[in-house]
Structure 1
Amino acid sequence: MLFASRPRSRRVAASLLTLVVGATALAGCVSRESDTVSAAAPSTVDPSRLSSVTLDVGDQKGGTQALLEASGQLTGTPYRVSFSTFTSGPPQVEAATAGRIDFAVTGNTPPIFGAAANARIKVVSAYTNDASGDQILVPKTSTARSVADLRGKRIAFGKGSSAHGHLLLQLTKAGLTPADVTLVPLQPADALTAFTAGQVDAWAIWDPFTALAQQQTGARTLTTAQGVANGYGFGIASQQALDDPAKNTALADLVSRLAKASAWAQANPEEWSAKYSAAVKIDPVAGEQAQRRSLRPAIPLDQTVIDSEQKLYDAFVAAKQIPAGKPFSDFVDTRFDATVKAATR
């Protein structure tokens, strides 16, 4: 089995902009005629016919590739895997819609923005944790002690990312709206620079960047997403790949391997955190902290998960961050659910 890593990072300018998100947010990038009703899965093919198949997989820092390699789950695949690196989930959704990647794992919010944009993707697998690694950080010298104290402050976050969803839920919980703060859309590297330089007052972010900021800057946790956000992650697949019998067969195998890899990491936390830290070139202390709270084992893509995502979708609509659209369930395809269940027994 051969695989390659092809960097395709996207970074936004580090200027401080007030976010204006309307119907054109992600839609302007990815809207297509969407297959909003799951068609019957195509017939699978014999694994011996997959030698000419390459799955293009979107990845993020310390994500899918590192986990599959560390667990040995990339060994013996009858197809090739080519990884592309992205800064966050929204560009992965865009790339999947355009057919540039076949699969990626994202947080809980990118698929919602994809659904609002009528993206040609399907959610095909689910992962969970307690969301404690998704945090809103403030500088160690900040006087803020609650989210309510952020009224009128500048908050960095990744537009359309899980941090966006977490931030919206925390503002709502505190009785605030996005209009009560200055939202500064920045990708993680730019946000870290702005946060360190004092150009923003708070930063909504996820691991491993949470752990890195805490270690490097002494950032203080204002609040975590635990008990507020659902903590889910999702495997998204392009409709184009799902409609192709060979790629559909390869995707089923990859989703199974990823579920087994997550179970291995959960059972071997010390070995995984060491390999993870080496793979992403971060201090082992930060790597261990990030993985202790942010590893997501695979779970069934059931109605509880779908309903929870619909509530988050509705919260974004109510806040006028995205337009109302088709139900989130229209962008869910459970064809690999039995495969995930078998892999995690």
Structure 2
Amino acid sequence: MTSSLSLTRRGALGTLAALGAASAFAQGTSTVRIGYQKSSTLIVVLKTQGTLERQLAPLGVKPSWHEFTSGLPLLEALNLDNLDFSADVADTVPVFAQAAGAQLTFVAQEAPSPAAQAILVREDSPIKTLADLKGKKIGFAKAAGAHYLLIAALDKAGLSLKDIEPAYLTPADGRAAFEKGAIDAWVVWDPFLAAAQRQSKVRVLADGTGIASYQRYYLASTKFATARADVLGVIYAELAKAGQWVKANPKDAAALLAPVWGIDAATVEQANARRSYAVRPASLDVIGEQQKIADAFFAEKLLPRKIDALASPLFKPGAGA
């Protein structure tokens, strides 16, 4: 199956419709359009605290916020010029956008968090090893980090996606399908992973340790990055500070995020403990796994063409701040 970043979920379509036909951001425009997911912890912290409203005000800029169900529709919105900046998406997602011809700039990266995503089975499941996944129906979000984790885990067991029955599901739909037994295994990331572990009888078949490093990226449209490096400089600096604060103050961070995410603080704290939240500049040294991911998706015929995953521009923090 090939992919061209087509939206398949009603929620994602609704989000794009709500965004409307927004014009391209140019020098002097007063709004930076920011897309994020529920799992975009650091951006959610900044949004909840009103930090970017304060820090961007001296530049005459204010943020507008747009929530998405997963990374794939988020980067499609960026590609369609309906967003200027994308909060963190899993390392798999940019390769789909690049294959669709998106003009993206890598702004920042979070250091690896391999245990923050996992393959779950029910506690009483007969599935004991990765090899036991053969012939099973497995739910996961298309193009998410969970998708690559599944590909890499199957490869480790001598299998491929052709050996399982894939079910492309958002985290919410995946949880519902998993709990009613409609799928045999579910591949998901935090905080959805932690919520399932604490609220349901589940077992981790494998997480990303030794399989997929799970790095998350912050991106901007190249048009926006060229026009407003000053704005990106402020956003980068505040993300780095937020990451340090979340790790240094786990209980306070959990208390802040719990009502926003609609889950209890203990679950948030468990999820946050598995994420690095170490924001650093994107560089060729740290994004090297991108090509491996792109090649794996191309081999599975999930990308329409082979791509150079390292060809997109890299933002240099401080250059325009």
Which range, TM-score by smaller chain?
Answer: 0.7 to 0.9
**Deviations, residues 65-93 of structure 1 (Å, cap 9, x unaligned):** 42214666333322211111101100011
* 2:76 is the counterpart of 1:76: no
Paired residue secondary structure (2:197): helix
Report deviation, 1:225: 0.7
For the pair 1:217 / 2:195, whether they are aligned, the reply is: no
| Aligned match of 1:321 | 302
Higher mean C-alpha displacement, 288-297 vs 62-71: 62-71
Q: Aligned pair in 2 of structure 1 residues 299, 71: CA closer, same or farther (>3 Å)?
A: farther
Measured in 2, the distance between the counterparts of 1:110 and 1:226 equals 20
Q: Does 1:59 align with 2:36?
A: yes
SS where residue 175 of structure 2 aligns? helix
AA in 2 matched with 1:293: R
Report matched runs for 1:116-155 at 5 Å.
Answer: 116-155=99-138
Q: Which of residues 167, 176, 180 in structure 1 aligns to 2:150?
A: 167
Amino acid corresponding to residue 76 of structure 1 in structure 2: Q
- For 1:96, give the aligned amino acid: L
CA RMSD of aligned residues (A): 2.2
Classify 1:339/1:206 alpha carbon distance in 2 versus 1 (closer, same or farther; 3 Å): farther
Q: What is the CA-CA distance between 1:326 and the residue it aligns to?
A: 3.1
Percent identity, aligned pairs only, is 33
The corresponding residue for 1:39 is none
1:26 aligns with 2:4: yes
The CA distance in 1 between the partners of 2:104 and 2:81, in whole Å, is: 9
How far the C-alpha of 1:192 sits from its partner, in A, is 0.8
Q: In the aligned structure 1, how far is the partner of 2:63 from the partner of 2:44? A: 13
- Cα distance in 2 for residues equivalent to 1:242 and 1:273: 32
The alignment's TM-score, normalised by the length of structure 2, stands at 0.86
Distance 2:159 2:261 in 1: 36
Residues 207/162 of structure 1: CA separation in 2 closer, same or farther (3 Å cut): same
One-letter amino acid of the structure 2 residue matched with residue 121 of structure 1: L
Separation in 2, partners of 1:339, 1:219: 47
Q: Give secondary structure in 2 for the equivalent of 1:255.
A: helix
CA–CA distance in structure 1, aligned partners of residues 305 and 62 of structure 2: 39
Kept in 2: contact 1:71–1:265 (CA 8 A): no
Deviates further, 230-239 or 148-157: 230-239
Q: Determine the C-alpha separation between the residues in 2 that align with 1:268 and 1:55.
A: 29
Residues 1:257 and 2:235 aligned together: no
- Does residue 266 of structure 2 align to residue 288 of structure 1? no
What CA distance in whole angstroms lies between the structure 2 residues aligned with 1:27 and 1:230?
A: 23
Q: Take 1:142 and 1:187, find their aligned partners in 2: how far apart are those partners?
A: 22
Q: Output the CA distance in 2 between the equivalents of 1:62 and 1:180.
A: 30
1:305 aligns with 2:252: no
Matched residue count: 297
Residue identity in the other structure for 2:170: Q
Letter in 2 for 1:68: L
Match of residue 87 from structure 1: 69
Partner of 1:188: 171
Structure 1: gaps (5+ residues): 1-20, 30-44
Q: In structure 2, how many angstroms separate the alpha carbons of the residues matched to 1:310 and 1:282?
A: 35
For the 8 Å contact 2:258–2:265, the answer to whether it is kept is yes
Q: Is the 8 A contact 1:106 1:234 kept in 2?
A: yes
Asked whether the 8 Å contact 1:121–1:239 carries over to 2, the reply is yes
1:203 aligns with 2:186: yes
Contact 1:71 1:264 in 2 (8 A): no
Give the structure 1 partner of residue 10 of structure 2.
none
Q: What's the TM-score once normalised by structure 1's chain length?
A: 0.80
8 Å CA contact 2:55, 2:234 repeated in 1:
no
Report SS of the residue matched to 2:204: strand
Letter in 2 for 1:222: L
1:26 match: secondary structure:
coil
Q: Tell whether the 8 Å contact from 1:277 to 1:288 is kept in structure 2 after alignment.
A: no
Kept in 1: contact 2:281–2:315 (CA 8 A):
no
Q: Distance in 1 between matches of 2:283 and 2:218?
A: 14
Please say if residues 5 and 76 of structure 2, whose CA atoms lie closer than 8 Å, have aligned partners that are also in contact. no
The answer as to 2:78 corresponding to 1:101 is no
